[in-house]
Amino acid sequence: MDLTFYGEDVKGLIRVDPRTKVLIFITSSLVCVSSYSDIGIAMYSVVLCILFALCGKPMTALKASLALGVVLFVRAMMGNSKGAPEVIVMVLTLITTSFMFAFPTLMSIYFIVKTTRISHFLSAFQAMHVPVKAIVPVAVFFRFLPTVTDEWNGIRKAMAFRGISLSPVQIIVHPWKTIEFILIPMLFSSMSVMEELAAATMARGMDLEVRRSSYEEVKLHAVDYLLIVLFAAMFVLAAVIAQMAKEGAVL
Amino acid sequence: MIRFENVSFHYGGENGTGEGVDNINLTINDGEVVVLCGSSGCGKTTLTRLINGLAPHFYEGEIEGEVRVNDLLVSEAELSETSRYVGSVFQNPKSQFFNIDTTGELVFGCENQGMSRAEIAERLARTNKDMKLDALIGRNIFELSGGEKQQIACGSVYTAHPDVYVLDEPSSNLDRKAIHRLHEILKKIKESGKTIVISEHRLYYLMDLADRFIYLDDGIITASYTSAELARLSDDELASLGLRCTDLNKLDKDPENISFANAGQPVVEAIDLNCTKGGNQILDIERLRLPEHAIVAVIGDNGSGKSTLTEALCGVGTSDGSIAFNGRYLSERERASRSFMVMQDVNRQLFSDSVIEEVMLNASESRERALEILDKLGLKDTCERHPSSLSGGQKQRVAIASALCAGKEIIFYDEPTSGLDRKGMERFGEILSEMRDKITSVIITHDPELILRCCTHILHIENGRVMGFYPLNADGVQRVRGYFMSESDENTSKDRKKYGIFGRVLKYAGKWKRYVVLAVIFMVLGAFFGAVPYAGIYDLITRFLDEGSLTLNGSLPDIGLILVAGILYAVAYTFGLQLSHRAAYHTLENIRISLQGKLDGQPIGNIHDMGIGTVKKLFNDDIESVELMLAHVIPEGFSNIFVGSVILLILIAVDWQMALCSVVILLLGFAASRQMYDVGMDKMGYYFASSKRLNNSIIEYVSGMEVVRIFNRSRKSGERFEDSVYKYRDFGLAWYEVCWPWMAIYGSLFANVTLYSLPLGALLVILGHLTLNRYILALCLSYALGPLLLHTLALIGSMPRVNYKIQSIEKALDRPALKCGNEEFKGEDHSITFDKVRFAYKGDEVIKGISFTAKEGQMTALVGESGSGKSTIARLIAHYYDVDSGVIRIGGQDINGLSLETLGDQISYVSQELFLFNKSIMENIRIGRPDATDEEVKEAARRAGCEEFILSFEDGYDTMAGACGNKLSGGQKQRIAFARVLLKDAPVIVLDEATAFIDPENEKKMNDAIEEIIRDKTVLIIAHKLSSIAKADKIIVLGKGRIISEGTHAELIKNCEEYRRLWTATEESNRWILKGGQEK
């Protein structure tokens, strides 16, 4: 996974409004928790990957869908050979199932992070009259992902000089010590960044009471409406399939 | 207008970052530039916060009095209200951006004010234009360098158009060029009539901008200076105020401070250090040695690779190459354990609850010793405090203390004095000097004051290459000052696109990329057909098992299938190979063309440096290796991996347990190959170093053979050679010794996947979970898998070599091109001016700040000993190289703005060596002006005094120069060169040792020819024989890259010692020649 948290959709064939993306995230989460059928999730995930590709990240989408394909294939083929030790079957089932059911949610978060710019996000939700107080934390969260990555890189280097090992053995033997060594500098460093960031933001006129304008045009386009309908429909469909599977009607 | 009326402010609660300010009465008028200065903690920052309202609205505290900006009472108004009038730029580039993308950040302030979309767009466009931000638009802020971030910060304030700009130490993370740009930006803002308030430690770049300097001490305004007043203060007075220097010119090194006596053995040695990130070459260092007991300052512009270099040296960054500490090549982990880096953001490296625990964390020293060290660093009182409660300077010293207690040998510092005031900087310098006996320090810094205070050596990095490594003696001081004072403000940061190794090559493929894709498709088909026979065999065996016997008739379809598949395999594979080769060779063509284009744009000097051998190797051998990659690695590797995965999937479908078993085996194999790579890389340092040493000793052995034989020293030199051969053998064996077990493991695992799945499958068959048919199919598939994997592995194994070759191509292409514009020549005359020109060649500075003018219509001569830089000056005029700093002008126009063609029209440069093309002499002269008629060529030849000897050849002007090249004497060749110059008739003539081949018999002819050439031109002549230039209008005497004196012959003979010496020397040699002539 590419750990540069920078969202843009300049190369995309379509541009999707941040509100639609959040809606997709919500339906994804609902699908994950409510649908128990492989087919429902597979269908949903494929559409999600296609959307990701259309928004300018075809390689990411391809890799994700390949991984998904392999997992689905393994799940489907698990029945072809009997007599394997219980443990192996259980572990394999656990891995594949959690991958399957986490896929839509993680993918839609990644989708938001990778294709949305913070300013676009802010303005889209302001246009919907969502109070700034509710949006800013999300925006700050986005802003903080790359910061944390950055800090982590620095801390890792600092640890190398201090002879603090990050090997699996060390982590297992001294879990608390390791966490402490990571957390203390991370917290203090992040805290000072946070404070300065807040000061800078306020000094530049960000105010929860004042209404902001937006450089970017925010409007739900035909694509957005189409996607909203599509994902809502898929959610319903997935739920129906799951229900039917539960009743044992099909599959 | 900003008004402070009796303002006092004291921080309350947790924000105790400073003590606050008292009784501030200050009025700043519109359009004024005011600098707040004073030592750390004096209240500068608090004042800026009072202006932009952060105190008391964000940093809470008690406030008395009133702060007004225009008519707004800042101390009462909402921050969002204040932000309409006041724009702020902060010190830390890391934490002042709300957005991740640059465009969003630039318009952030405007959006907050609720401007209309059209208005914002217009302002954004204007900001881009005024601040030249085009290259930075629409990018990830986290990818930008510190200087670029600061530009964006200024830009985003500029877009919001406030009346007042407040900047808090804006220069602390900037390099010299970025400071220049900041200066230009501030100038522009000032010109637009805005008010600027800057809190700053660095003062020198503000001297011409600032109207007033307000000096604060302990929260009280104690003085106010104009620029002129401040500039008059001596360094001692500034020091007592705790202020940094106001003029870099005055900055000098304390001569007593310099002692290189104990800077001895190299403590760090790096050979062939290469580093690429995302397909971009960041570092390319052939050899680097840092001496023991040195304090080395690493200088270079933002993004030049300083941090990457230090990280590679201390073992936290990955790089290729060998790095030794104290003569031993060490792996990355070993290096990290023996060195330390004090990071710019020191918060990241404090891990414990108290200072004493922090330094004892991995200390090799006792607690008493640790306390002693803390005491020395002035931290004794703080040793029970929490590190995060300390000031920046103190935290830094805690980090140093922890390094000292851990017994580190080398400490690296990343911009340790950014944001430190004069006292902090001086204290830091003292600590370094005191530690010098035990520890070598390497400092990345943009701070000339720190360098001159304590450093002993300078390492100058530019574009990932070492531009120079020199001791900071008198010359070094000049040079480093020249670096910091250079007026260049260009932006060297590039938008580095990321490419993988394939992407790098494929970008040259152009339309042939299609063929690569097609080749891959055919190869996949081929590999598929290659696997089909296994299905046929499976079918045969199944039927044999089912029916008990096989008939020829019954097996015909299967045999046919196998045959057809075999043929199809051959066809598809061959066709695929054909396609891939076609693509490969066309790509090679494209790369060669592009390489040639890049070579054209290079300074001629660079090409000379590379040498004919290297260039030839690049064009032939290195590029050829791309063929391997395009024609084989990509299509075959891809198809193998693809088919391998398909087989694995089928295997899963056949029986997932056997598949799982195979996957586990394969994973083990990959782990083994990974492990081999890791241990191998650790030893690689030694291996590469010894191979390099072997190469060198072979060269030495062969090139010294003549001398060795004459002096009968062959045994000794042979020993050296043998020694390095043995060493190489030993290191090679050692490398194989550690790698061999792993190689054996993965080799056997990959080749024999079947071996492990066979018994498992058999067990499953016996237990009845698997039919025999399926078992056999699974075995067949496993058989097919092995060769595919081994083949792929062989291809992958060749990748490092290919990668290395491609890297060396890219390295050659990556060098900065000559700076050329495409302006028309519009100089007012043809005089040549050097303005403070500095130039270093291969790390040694050869031109050290030279300024002179060669006037039009006059003859200016350059004289001096060999190596004084005469010829270099001539080459610089012809724009063979780019100068490091300073400007060369022709008729008042910078030659960097001219294209090489335009410049070539103005200048004729005759060097010591003449190259004759293998054409007729007529054509060789015509090169001077290609559209000249035969008559004009002959006329020029006549005037240059060539006609006589040309006509003496059998074919006259049509004689092939190649054939008669050897027949021509030096003087004759020279005159052909003169003929070219006469034909070209350029207004500026540069003659480099044009009279070198003068001998008594042709002296007159040569001099006549020169007379012809230089009539009414700007002439710059370089000569060893002073007699020939004695009548020059101006003579410039050079010595060691500097101008010693200038004047006419008569003046110089009278006043200049050096000139007299040179003159006598030539006089004597003249007499010597005369005598020789007489004896004949």
Question: Using CA atoms, how far apart are residues B239 and A74, in angstroms rounded to an integer?
Answer: 74
pLDDT class for B319, splitting at 50, 70, 90? confident
Residue with the bigger pLDDT between B619 and B412: it is: B412
Beta sheet of B893-894, edge-to-edge order: B844-854, B832-841, B885-890, B893-894
Q: Would the CB atoms of A155 and B402 count as touching at under 8 Å?
A: no
CA distance A147 to chain B (A): 8
Q: Which residue has the tokens 């932009």?
A: B52
A contacts of B92 (beta carbons < 8 Å): 196
Q: What is the pLDDT of residue B34?
A: 94
User: HSE of B885 in the Cβ direction (CA atoms, 13 Å)?
Assistant: 19
Query: Over the Cα atoms of chain B, what is R_g?
Result: 37
CA distances from B131 to A180, B102, B125, B1035 (A): 45, 14, 10, 44
- Cβ distance of B80 and A205 shorter than 8 Å: yes
Segment holding B243, helix H or strand E = none
Contacts (Cβ under 8 Å, ≥6 apart) of B234: none
Structure pTM? 0.80
Q: How confident is the model at residue A173 (pLDDT cuts 50, 70, 90)?
A: confident
Residue B712 backbone phi and psi in degrees, to 5 = 55, 50
Residues of A in Cβ contact (< 8 Å) with B57: 202
Are B770 and A217 a contacting pair at CB < 8 A? no
Is residue A185's pLDDT more than 50?
yes
The average pLDDT across B969-989 equals: 82
Straight-line distance from the first to the last Cα atom of chain A, in angstroms, rounded to the nearest whole number: 34
Interface of B with A in 399-438 (CB under 8 A): 402-403, 406, 408
Tell me: the pLDDT tens digits for B922-946? 888 888 888 888 888 888 888 887 7
pLDDT of B372 > 70? The answer is: yes
Question: Mean pLDDT across the stretch B247-275?
Answer: 72
Contact A78/B656, CB-based, under 8 Å?
yes
Confidence of residue B496 (pLDDT cuts 50, 70, 90): low
- Of the ranges A188-197, B611-620, B670-679, B974-983, which one carries the lowest mean pLDDT score? B611-620
Instruction: Output the average pLDDT for chain A.
Output: 83
CB contact under 8 A, B59 and A217: no
Report CB contact under 8 Å: A161, B769. no
pLDDT of residue B13: 60
Proportion of chain B above pLDDT 70, given as a percent:
92
Indicate the average pLDDT of chain B: 82
Count the neighbouring beta carbons within 10 Å of the beta carbon of residue B645.
Answer: 13
Residue A208 has pLDDT above 70, yes or no: no
Pick from B366, B372, B274: nearest CA to B319:
B274
Residues of chain A positioned with their CB less than 8 A from the CB of B341? 157-158, 161
CA-wise closest residue to B940 among B987, B975, B964: B975
Nearest CA in chain B to A150: B142
What is the per-residue pLDDT across B197-217, written as a single tens digit (0 to 9) for each?
Answer: 999 988 888 998 999 999 998
Sign of the CA dihedral with B787 first, then B788, B791, and B793 last: negative
Structure tokens given for B992: 């480099």
Residue B87 has pLDDT above 80, yes or no: yes
pLDDT mean over B966-994: 81
Chain segment B782-791, per-residue pLDDT in tens: 877 777 777 8
The pLDDT > 90 percentage for chain B reads 7
Chain segment B749-759, per-residue pLDDT in tens:
877 777 888 88
Amino acid letter for position A184 = I
CB B154 within 8 A of CB B185: yes
3-class SS at B889? strand
- For residue B164, pLDDT over 90 is answered with yes
B-chain residues near A164 (CB < 8 A): 351, 362
Q: Would you state the pLDDT for residue A250?
A: 45
Q: Residue A196, CB half-sphere, CA atoms under 13 Å: how many? A: 19
pLDDT for the residue B173: 78
pLDDT at B1077: 44
B649 touches chain A (CB under 8 A): yes
Which chain B residues are Cβ-neighbours of A117 within 8 angstroms?
Answer: 99-101, 104
**Of B1000 and B58, the one with more pLDDT:** B58
Q: Is residue A158 a contact partner of residue B348, using CB atoms and an 8 Å limit?
A: yes
Cβ atoms of residues B55 and B79 within 8 Å: no
Q: Measured between CB atoms, which of B78, B112, B343 is closest to A158?
A: B343
Question: Which pLDDT belongs to residue B421?
Answer: 84
Closest partner CB to A196 (pick from B95, B108, B769): B95
Chain center to CA of B672: 36
Which member of B97, B115, B660 has the closest CB to residue A213? B115
ipTM of this predicted structure: 0.84
Peptide bond just before B557 cis, omega within 30 deg? no
pLDDT band at B1078; cut points 50, 70, 90: very low
Angle between helices A132-161 and A175-203 (to 10 degrees): 130
Cα-Cα end-to-end distance for chain B: 91
- Which of A161, A190, A213 should be substituted to probe chain B, the one whose Cβ sees the most B Cβ atoms within 10 Å? A161
DSSP A182-197: HHHHHHHHHHHHHHHH
The pLDDT value given to residue B35: 93
Q: Which of residues 738-767 of B touch A (CB under 8 A)?
A: 764, 767
Q: Picking from A47-56, A170-179, B447-456, which range would have the lowest pLDDT averaged per residue?
A: A170-179
Residues of B in contact with A2 (CB under 8 A): none
pLDDT in tens, A1-41: 445 567 777 777 888 888 899 899 998 888 887 766 777 78
Cβ contacts of A82 on chain B, cutoff 8 Å: 769
B518 exposure class (CB count in 10 Å sphere: 0-12, 13-18, 19+): middle
Check: CB of residue B549 under 8 Å from CB of residue B541.
Answer: no
How confident is residue B764, by pLDDT bands cut at 50, 70 and 90?
Answer: confident
Flag whether pLDDT at B809 surpasses 80.
no
Model confidence at B699, pLDDT cuts 50, 70, 90, reads confident
- How many other CB atoms are there within 10 angstroms of residue B546's CB atom? 9
Residue B1002 has what pLDDT? 67
Residue A1: predicted pLDDT: 40
Quick check: A189 and B345 CB within 8 A? yes
The pLDDT score that the predictor gives to residue B996 is 65
User: What is the pLDDT, as a whole number, of residue B1079?
Assistant: 39
Residue B906 has pLDDT above 70, yes or no: yes
Number of cross-chain residue pairs from A and B with Cβ atoms under 8 Å apart: 226
Mean pLDDT check: name the lowest of A185-199, B555-569, B609-623, B820-834: B609-623
- Cβ burial B450-477 (10 Å sphere, 16+ → b, else e): bbbbbbbbbbbbbbbbbbbbbbbeeebb
Q: What is the pLDDT of residue A251?
A: 43
Counting Cα atoms < 13 Å in the Cβ hemisphere of A12 gives 23
Q: How far is A244 from chain B (nearest CA, A)?
A: 27
Chain A contacts in chain B segment 937-996 (CB below 8 A):
none
pLDDT of the residue at B27: 92
CB-based contact B80 A118, cutoff 8 Å = no
CB B357 within 8 A of CB B385: no
Do B972 and B950 form a contact (C-beta atoms < 8 A)? no
Phi and psi of B25, rounded to 5°? -125, 115
Q: Check pLDDT > 90 for residue B542.
A: no
Which positions in chain A touch B333 (Cβ < 8 Å)? 160
- B74 contact residues in A (CB cutoff 8 A): none
> What pLDDT, on a 0 to 100 scale, did the predictor assign at position B384?
84
Residue B493 has pLDDT above 60, yes or no: no
Q: In this complex, is the C-beta atom of B736 within 8 Å of any C-beta atom belonging to chain A?
A: no
With CA atoms as reference, the chain A residue closest to B119 would be: A215
Task: Provide the pLDDT for residue A205.
Answer: 82
Q: What is the pLDDT of residues B506-536, one digit of tens each?
A: 778 888 888 888 888 888 888 788 878 877 8
CB spacing of B95 vs A185 below 8 angstroms: no
- Residue of chain B nearest A158, judged by CA positions: B349
pLDDT of residue B604: 77
Dump the DSSP string for B467-496: EEEEE-SHHHHHHHHHHHH----------P
From CA B167, how far away is CA B88, in angstroms rounded? 6
